[in-house]
Amino acid sequence: MEGILALMIPLAPFIMVVAIVWIANQRKLEEKRLNATASRSAEEAARHATQVAELEQRVQVLERIVTDKGYDVAAQIEALRDTKSHEEGTGVPLDIKRQEKA
């Protein structure tokens, strides 16, 4: 036991220095990991914000279409389909009730 203790006493300062350097390096590595994660999160947040802005613009356009004669647009599309099927003589009319009355 005395032999191990005699060997440990001179090695104690060396072991302490190695432990301090190892802890400092671990702290630096953890800071780098955190910074990398934060920058990646910021990039993702910016990308998501851009996507949200684009989607909001598209929704505004769709709202405008629906509120500004939106139903007229649907009727015009139906009229075009009816006209096309009558001209070609093929296809099934989309408005069967209207077709039967005529």
pLDDT at 95: 56
Domain that holds residue 54: 2-90
Measure CA 32 to chain center: 25
Q: Which residue has the higher pLDDT, 6 or 92?
A: 6
Quick: pLDDT tens for 42-79.
Answer: 888 999 999 999 999 988 888 877 777 656 777 777 77
Looking at the domain assignment, is residue 49 inside a domain?
Answer: yes
Instruction: Count Cβ neighbours within 10 Å for each residue of 70-100 and write b for 16 or more, e otherwise.
Output: eeeeeeeeeeeebeeeeeeeeeeeeeeeeee
Asked if the structure places residue 34 within a domain, the reply is yes
| Domain annotation covers residue 78 | yes
Predicted pLDDT of residue 12 = 87
The pTM for the full model equals 0.39
Measured between alpha carbons, how far is 37 from 17 in angstroms, rounded to an integer?
Answer: 30
- The number of distinct structural domains making up the chain is 1
In a domain, 100, yes or no: no
Q: What is the mean pLDDT of the chain?
A: 79
